[in-house]
Structure 1
Amino acid sequence: MTSASCPSAEFTLTVQAADAHTLRVAIHGYLDYDTSDEFTPAVDELLDAHAEQHGPPLRHLHLDWTDLTAFDSSGLSALLALHRRTHPAGITLHLHHQPAYFTRLLEVTGVMGHLTQHARGAASPATAEAASDTASAPVP
């Protein structure tokens, strides 16, 4: 297991498992106003290390929230920033073992589905065209 460098003892990330297409990371401690600015660079460091070791085909980032002890709107903002990086790169976020207060905040703000929507991989022009045709097809 690998931990990301985080100056705060109240927040750490630990790599639980990795292969070419999947990275599993556990979040420990607080992801709130005091630590949220550490989250993005810490996850960026893990993603960069994964790319160096396994290459660019990462498709699934699993985040385990079992050891999360606090989460607020600043943590939500950091999680949305992570989505802005991973989704365009074709990486789908998977959220596991969320505490009730975490799930409640995602549901109240309406971002649960947004954060976990399936990311499209690098599509060929034909695939992208077919997807746009399907999206614009009339509904019977």
Structure 2
Amino acid sequence: MNSTPCPPAEFTMTVQAADAHTLRVAIHGYLDYDTSDEFAPALDELLDAHAEQHGPALRHLRLDWANLTAFDSSGLSALLALRRRTHPAGITLHLHHQPTYLTRLLEVTGVMGHLTQHARGAGSPEAAIP
């Protein structure tokens, strides 16, 4: 019996557009057990670079999932960790072009509304309200 080695799962992100208030990022490949540890540091790097260039003006992080090929509970955990970073900073997550399986997972787990809840501006009096 011949065995063919499976190539490692691939994960990349590309910045599609950016201005002071909005950053649009395309997710490519797998966001799963094998790659989810790459997601947070890669997005942290993008967010830090954006803040360095524009200051704390970012209000919308738009994630384009059109080229996502796999997503599992580890990807969900990474996405929730991203929300924990962005929401207190006044950055609202927007999910675009997600495949049906991603939408279904977010709805079944009840986190779709939580992930995309409008973030209040960091430092505003409303931001202190739970």
- The alignment's TM-score, normalised by the length of structure 1, stands at 0.83
State the one-letter code of the partner of 1:67.
Answer: N
Supply the distance in 1 between the matched residues of 2:91 and 2:56 (Cα, whole angstroms): 10
Deviation at 1:124, TM superposition (A): 4.2
What SS does the aligned partner of 2:95 have?
strand
Deviation at 1:122, TM superposition (A): 3.0
Supply the distance in 2 between the matched residues of 1:43 and 1:63 (Cα, whole angstroms): 11
Instruction: Show the counterpart of 1:66.
Output: 66
Structure 1: stretches of 5+ with no match in the other structure: 1-7, 136-140
- The alignment's TM-score, normalised by the length of structure 2, stands at 0.89
Whether contact under 8 Å (2:25, 2:64) holds in the other structure is: yes
State the one-letter code of the partner of 1:109.
Answer: T
Whether contact under 8 Å (2:88, 2:122) holds in the other structure is: no
Question: Do residues 57 (structure 1) and 54 (structure 2) align?
Answer: no
State the one-letter code of the partner of 1:49.
Answer: A
Instruction: Show the counterpart of 2:38.
Output: 38
Whether contact under 8 Å (2:66, 2:97) holds in the other structure is: yes
**1:89-100 equivalences in 2 (<5 Å):** 89-100=89-100
Instruction: Show the counterpart of 1:5.
Output: none
What RMSD, in angstroms, separates the aligned Cα atoms of the two structures? 2.0
State the one-letter code of the partner of 2:32.
Answer: D
Give a deviation string over 1:86-107, Cα, whole Å, max 9, x none.
0000000000000000000000
Instruction: Show the counterpart of 1:82.
Output: 82
- Greater helix share, structure number: 1
Supply the distance in 2 between the matched residues of 1:108 and 1:62 (Cα, whole angstroms): 22
Supply the distance in 2 between the matched residues of 1:38 and 1:111 (Cα, whole angstroms): 21
Instruction: Show the counterpart of 1:138.
Output: none
Supply the distance in 1 between the matched residues of 2:118 and 2:103 (Cα, whole angstroms): 19
State the one-letter code of the partner of 1:27.
Answer: I
Supply the distance in 1 between the matched residues of 2:69 and 2:85 (Cα, whole angstroms): 25
Structure 2: stretches of 5+ with no match in the other structure: 1-7
Identity value in percent: 88
Supply the distance in 2 between the matched residues of 1:40 and 1:93 (Cα, whole angstroms): 14
| Residue range with higher mean Cα deviation, 87-96 or 114-123 | 114-123
**1:93-112 equivalences in 2 (<5 Å):** 93-112=93-112
Supply the distance in 2 between the matched residues of 1:61 and 1:124 (Cα, whole angstroms): 19
Cα 1:124–1:83, aligned 2, differ >3 Å: closer, same or farther? Answer: closer
